[in-house]
Amino acid sequence: MSQSFVAGLLLVFLLTFPLSGSAQDRTGMVFLRFETGLAGGLSPDLALPNLVDAGLGKTMYFGAGAGYQLFERLRTDLTVTYRGGFEQTVDFGEALHAKADFQSTAVMLNAHYEFSPSGKIVPYVGGGIGYVYNHLDQVSITSAQDAPVATINGGGWANFGAQFGGGIAIPIRDKWFVDLGYRYFDGGKYESADKIHIASGVTQTFSRHVGDLRAHDFTAALRIAIN
């Protein structure tokens, strides 16, 4: 995780805590939280020879968890999210193309600071840290004519992850709230195994295929108070 990312996360919290206003005090509220949205993967920054382009594409993601209103303006939650539809694609000029399915599961402890409401809409900013497990499936390498060239065994990798962003919270019933927002998600490293299988039948050991998971998430979440 980059130093600029950590600095941005700290800046969000430092800028928001001095703010004050007169939102309804829900201190002590316990809630369930369900979320979904669109995750757009950024370049995985692969260190491979003759690399022209690489990406993870987009996927819908899903999450669920529980939270607690610590203070009038500060709430926290523990949420598990699953991003299961990424596809890593890699182009090596016009000669070779590689692709592999990619999944990520994150368990994140989040905190959100709520600003003064505008009508019934409550803006918020926040972020979180937690555990992320990334898994790269088998990588298939083909020629420009789509002929099999080689495969690389997949692999999993566990990381420290972080995220930050903001949005708006909208009460839709007495104890029901909808959160709409954006966040930047840094899921850390992932890598393949160190075996490549050439189509001719030869298996070789090579430097692992290593990438970074980073994504822009556009989120929609439902919070339901249970007390």
**Rounded CA gap, 49 and 140, in Å?**
17
Mind listing the domains of the chain with CATH numbers?
A: 3-225 (2.40.160.20)
**Rounded CA gap, 197 and 13, in Å?**
48
Helix (H, G, I), strand (E, B) or coil at 92: strand
* Tokens describing residue 144: 């420009």
For residues 152 and 115, the answer to whether their CB atoms sit within 8 Å is no
**Rounded CA gap, 33 and 31, in Å?**
6
pLDDT at 207 over 90: no
Task: Give this prediction's pTM.
Answer: 0.84
Helix (H, G, I), strand (E, B) or coil at 10: helix
* Residue 25 confidence class, pLDDT cut points 50, 70, 90: confident
* Tokens describing residue 72: 């009038």
CA pseudo-torsion sign 81, 133, 49, 144: negative
User: Residue 87, CB half-sphere, CA atoms under 13 Å: how many?
Assistant: 5
pLDDT in tens, 122-151: 999 999 999 999 999 999 999 888 889 989
**Rounded CA gap, 6 and 9, in Å?**
5
Work out the average pLDDT over 182-201.
Answer: 90
For residues 39 and 61, the answer to whether their CB atoms sit within 8 Å is yes
**Rounded CA gap, 103 and 86, in Å?**
6
Q: What is the pLDDT of residue 165?
A: 97
Q: What is the pLDDT of residue 107?
A: 98
pLDDT in tens, 57-88: 999 999 999 999 999 999 999 999 999 999 99
* Residue 54, H or E segment: strand 53-55
Q: How far is CA 183 from CA 145, 200, 227, in A?
A: 39, 45, 28
